[in-house]
Structures are given as C-alpha cells and as structure tokens.
C-alpha cells in the first residue's frame, strides 16, 4: 500500500508545486488582498502529492469568500485570465512566467446537478462564494479525489475518508456509486485507469455499479457518443502505459472489452492447436504474453524500467486476427490453423485505432500512430517464421533498424509471444534459436556501425549514369545490392560503390 506523507511533508511539497507552476507570488498576495478569503488546493493533485507520485496533475484551487469579479481582477494582475462560463465561476489562469499552455484553475465553490444524459458537460452548475467546501467536494467522483489542502491553516481536509482509502489502496465513489456514474459515464473508464495506475482495488459497491453500467460507454445522443472517443482514448492509453497486464485484467473483468473492443473478447472462444498452444485459448495466450512483459526475464533481457506503449499494445493486438482466420479441423487438415492472421489482425488494429481515436491523445511517451502499431501486428511472426541465418543484412535493417521504432520492438514482441506459448520442446527450441539468431544479427550490425547505420553512398542518379540505364526497377535492384555490400562492411566509400556497380549484372 502507498506511503502517505506527513502534514509537514505535504505542506512542503504543495509549496514546491506552487513554485513550479509560477503562482507562489500570487498565492502569497492572496491573503493580503482578501483577509477573509479562503484558498484550497483540491482534487487529484492532492491525492498524488499525498502518495508522493512523480506524475502529479494540474493545480486546481477552490476560492471561498471572494466574489467572482474581485477574483478576476486580482488574478489579472499576475497573468492571463479566462472565465469559463458565468455560472461556472472557474477561471483559467496562466502566469506570465509559466510555460506554454501551463494553466491553473481557480474556481469558486459550486454545486452540480446532472441533467441525466451521462455527458460530463451536461450539468446545471451554480457557483457560490459562500458555499461550504464540503458541498463542493461532495460533487466529486471518488473519495481519493475529494481531498483539499487549506493554504491558510496548512491542514488537510478529508470529509469522505479519502486518506483511509489511499492507505488501504481502494477506489471508492463519493456517495452512491450508481448516481456518480450516471452523472458522467466517463467516470467508469477513469476508475479503471486509476485502479491500474495506482495498483488499487475497487470497492465492492463501486465495482458492482460499474459493471452494471459499463455498456453506457457506447450510448449515443443525436447520433453522437455521449462519452467522446477522445476521452476513452486517454483513459485506455494511460492505463496500458501504466501497467499493460493490470489494465487488461480490469478491462476484461469489467467487460469493457465487450463494449469497446469486442475483437479482444472474441479471443476467449478461439481454440488453438495444442502443439503450439497447450495453454488453451488465444485469450489465455494473450494473458501469458502480457504477463511476460512484466517478468524479471523481460527486464533482464531488455534492461528497461518502462515498457514502451507500442510494445504493450502490439502484444495486446497481435493475435486479434485469429478468430476471423481460424480453420476447421478435417481429415485433410488435422489441426487448427490461422492463415494470414497477422495481416488480418493488422487491418483490424488500424480499424480499432480509428474507432477509438487512439491517435487523438498525446503525452510524454504516449503517441500512437495506426500505421506503426499495425506494422508491429502484421510482422509479429517474422522472427518465428524466418531463419535468421538466411536473412540478408538489408532485411535486418528493414525489420530491426528502421527509424520508426527503436531496434528491438519487434524482438520484444517475439519474446512475449514465445514466453506466452506452452508449446512442444522441439518447436520451442526452434523458436528460441530464431529469436537468439536475430538478436545476434542485430548485435553484429550495431557493433559494425557503433555510430548508427551509415547513409547510402550513392543515389539513383549515380546508378543511371554509371550503368547508363533509365528509370525503372533495375535502379532499385542495384541500390539493394549495393546496400547489402555496404551493411556487410565490404564497401565503405563512394569510389568503392561506383567500382562495385561497374562489375554487377542487373537482370
């Protein structure tokens, strides 16, 4: 369970965050200008500071006993101010010294009454500078998000036992879970993400309400999804970046895959040949492959503390083409096969990325492109199906040294694919030899060119001039032959390359 900071530690960290966001002078002047005013840091950042998390959220303040007009005038002395709705009483503030798009929220206490649509924007909101802080915090989603730090008294305010839930590692709704989720359907996806990020459990009543209501994530109004796909993309990507195995288990147990990515759920009923997959269904294989991502063997093999999101999602989607390509057993075909499942899976991956708008959310280490992710899915069998001894150096470059990915993404996926398969010893040994063979070929190429792969020595125009040929496939053939010799370390200069061209035959 997480360690909770002491009051003194919490106070110091809050002050450090305020300085980092360039609002320390503003906060210092607030009480001089408004002796009767109250200022509270609220929400997720208080939770993150309390548990000493590195990735803290944005600063959100609640201001009491100060009129909106007075607050706006005061804030404008220190930077740019934007009022978000007259009744909302929320000011987006950016200090003159702050980084680009580094906004801080200052809000008057407010009540919210859901209009019953389930959309996070569909609330009747009324701000009131005299409203009790407890009433403001009561409208929030989770107890661990309903915390506040009083900047005047230097005290933590916890009306809903959020600190106890933090200590116990529990996600619990404020008040009635069903009511909280019906107010804003997207809160259910947020619960799954926080349970993954914080490694918490979900309280029973909150979990039961979530499972009963999870299908509302696909509800539409006037032909549009009530929960924007961009919102779901953010929660999905942050979950699988934080911990791909836990994210999978939460999304699976809550039946969120059934709702949003049924292609994953279909793996449960997809039987596999025992000679390759004695573990059982394609879903069981996927679970084992994701587990391999977090194994000590994976960390030892690749020496990284954080799993790349492309690899996590590549493993998640690598076999989604199996249910659609599965063949039936027959006398002529005694075992199940999945012809072209990697190619079909790549197409399905592109469709899922588009459907869930996974390209819409960008953050540090989170930047997914459908083209790149589908390439990993399409080529996840390459290592297992091709003998590394027969691979050309240009093939090693194409699959393992391309600019789009770090050199070992495909290797990492194959590692998990092998570890997640309970196959016969002969096949396991063959796959392991292939894996080690490609790893060695990559190592040799990297050692041969420690500063990175060299640029091509000559251009297509050089080839046309030397070979006296026009545009066409022969130029590509010549470039390929030359690149193979260059990567093999046999040609190192342009003059050597030109001499090589004069002695080759292009059919």
What's the pLDDT tens digit per position in 309-325?
999 999 999 999 999 99
The answer to whether residue 317 sits within a structural domain is yes
Collapse the DSSP code of 171 into the 3-class scheme (helix H, G, I; strand E, B; otherwise coil) and give the result.
strand
Q: DSSP letter at 327?
A: P
pTM above 0.85, yes or no: yes
Q: How far is the C-alpha of 383 from the C-alpha of 150, rounded, in Å?
A: 58
The answer to whether residue 40 sits within a structural domain is yes
Number of domains in the chain: 4
Alpha helices in 225-369 (DSSP H): 229-242, 244-253, 256-260, 262-265, 282-293, 296-302, 309-317, 322-325, 341-355
Question: Are 215 and 271 part of one and the same domain?
Answer: no
Question: Are 204 and 280 part of one and the same domain?
Answer: no
Mark 70-109 as b/e (b = at least 16 C-beta within 10 Å).
ebbebbeebbebeeeeeebbbbebbbeebeeeebbbbbbb
Check: CB of residue 487 under 8 Å from CB of residue 453.
yes
Question: Are 289 and 334 part of one and the same domain?
Answer: yes
The answer to whether residue 507 sits within a structural domain is no
**By 3-state DSSP, what share of the chain in percent is helix, strand and coil, each rounded to 5?**
50, 10, 35
The answer to whether residue 141 sits within a structural domain is yes
pLDDT surpasses 70 at 124: no
Question: Are 118 and 37 part of one and the same domain?
Answer: yes
Question: Are 305 and 374 part of one and the same domain?
Answer: yes
Question: Are 400 and 491 part of one and the same domain?
Answer: no
Among 448, 470, 493, the domain boundary falls at 448
From 245-254, 258-267, 456-465, 478-487, the region with the lowest mean pLDDT: 456-465
Range among 201-205, 473-477, 499-503 with highest mean pLDDT value: 201-205
Question: Are 350 and 421 part of one and the same domain?
Answer: yes
What mean pLDDT, rounded, does the chain reach? Answer: 91
Which domain, by its residues, includes 417? 240-448
pLDDT surpasses 90 at 189: yes
Check: CB of residue 112 under 8 Å from CB of residue 119.
no
pLDDT of residue 503: 82
pLDDT of residue 112: 62
Question: Are 153 and 293 part of one and the same domain?
Answer: no
pLDDT of residue 408: 87
Question: Are 320 and 350 part of one and the same domain?
Answer: yes
Share of the chain above pLDDT 70, in %: 93
pLDDT of residue 87: 56
Q: pLDDT confidence of 336, banded at 50, 70, 90?
A: confident
Question: Are 28 and 58 part of one and the same domain?
Answer: yes
**68 CB-near residues (< 8 Å, 6+ apart):** 83, 89, 108, 127, 129
pLDDT of residue 464: 87
Question: Are 302 and 376 part of one and the same domain?
Answer: yes
The answer to whether residue 235 sits within a structural domain is no
Q: Give the bridge partners for 95, in sequence order.
A: 79
Q: pLDDT confidence of 356, banded at 50, 70, 90?
A: very high
């Amino acid at each position: 369970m997480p360690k909770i900071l002491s009051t003194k530690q919490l106070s110091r960290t809050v002050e450090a965050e305020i300085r980092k966001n360039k609002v320390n002078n503003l906060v210092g002047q607030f009480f001089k200008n408004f002796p009767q005013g109250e200022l509270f840091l609220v929400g997720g950042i208080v939770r993150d500071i309390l548990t000493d998390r590195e990735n803290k959220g944005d600063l959100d303040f609640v201001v009491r006993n100060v009129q909106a007009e007075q607050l706006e005038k005061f804030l404008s002395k220190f930077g740019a101010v934007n009022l978000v709705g007259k009744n909302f009483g929320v000011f987006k503030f950016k200090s003159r010294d702050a980084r680009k798009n580094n906004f801080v929220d200052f809000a008057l206490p407010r009540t919210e009454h859901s209009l019953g649509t389930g959309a996070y924007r569909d609330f009747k909101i009324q701000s009131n500078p005299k409203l009790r802080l407890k009433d403001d915090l009561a409208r929030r989603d989770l107890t661990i998000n309903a915390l506040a730090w009083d900047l005047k008294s230097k005290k933590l305010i916890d009306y809903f036992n959020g600190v106890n839930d933090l200590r116990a590692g529990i996600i619990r709704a404020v008040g009635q879970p069903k009511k909280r989720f019906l107010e804003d359907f997207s809160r259910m996806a947020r619960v799954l993400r926080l349970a993954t990020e914080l490694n918490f459990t979900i309280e029973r009543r909150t979990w039961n309400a979530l499972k009963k209501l999870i299908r509302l994530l696909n509800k539409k109004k006037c032909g549009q999804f009530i929960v924007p796909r961009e919102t779901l993309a953010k929660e999905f990507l942050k979950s699988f970046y934080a911990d791909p195995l836990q994210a999978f288990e939460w999304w699976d147990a809550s039946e969120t895959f059934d709702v949003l990515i049924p292609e994953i759920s279909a793996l449960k009923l997809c039987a596999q040949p025992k000679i390759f997959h004695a573990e059982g269904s394609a879903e069981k294989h996927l679970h084992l492959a994701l587990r391999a991502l977090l194994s000590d063997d994976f960390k030892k093999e690749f020496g990284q503390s954080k799993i790349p999101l492309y690899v996590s999602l590549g493993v998640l989607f690598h076999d989604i083409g199996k249910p659609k390509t599965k063949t039936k057993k027959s006398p002529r075909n005694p075992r199940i096969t999945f012809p072209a499942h990697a190619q079909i899976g790549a197409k399905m991956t592109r469709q899922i990325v588009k459907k869930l708008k996974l390209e819409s959310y960008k953050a540090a280490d989170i930047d997914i492109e459908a083209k790149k992710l589908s390439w990993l899915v399409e080529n996840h069998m390459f290592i297992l199906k091709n003998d590394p001894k027969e691979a050309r150096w240009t093939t090693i470059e194409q699959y393992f040294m391309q600019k789009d990915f770090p050199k070992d993404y495909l290797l990492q996926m194959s590692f998990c694919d092998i570890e997640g398969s309970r196959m016969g010893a002969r096949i396991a040994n063959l796959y392991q030899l292939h894996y080690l063979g490609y790893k060695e070929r990559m190592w040799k190429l990297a050692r041969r060119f420690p500063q990175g792969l060299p640029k091509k020595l000559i251009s297509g125009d050089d080839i046309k001039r030397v070979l006296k040929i026009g545009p066409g496939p022969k130029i590509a053939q010549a470039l390929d032959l030359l690149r193979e010799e260059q990567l093999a370390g046999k040609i190192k200069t342009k003059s050597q390359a030109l001499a090589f061209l004069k002695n080759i035959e292009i059919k």
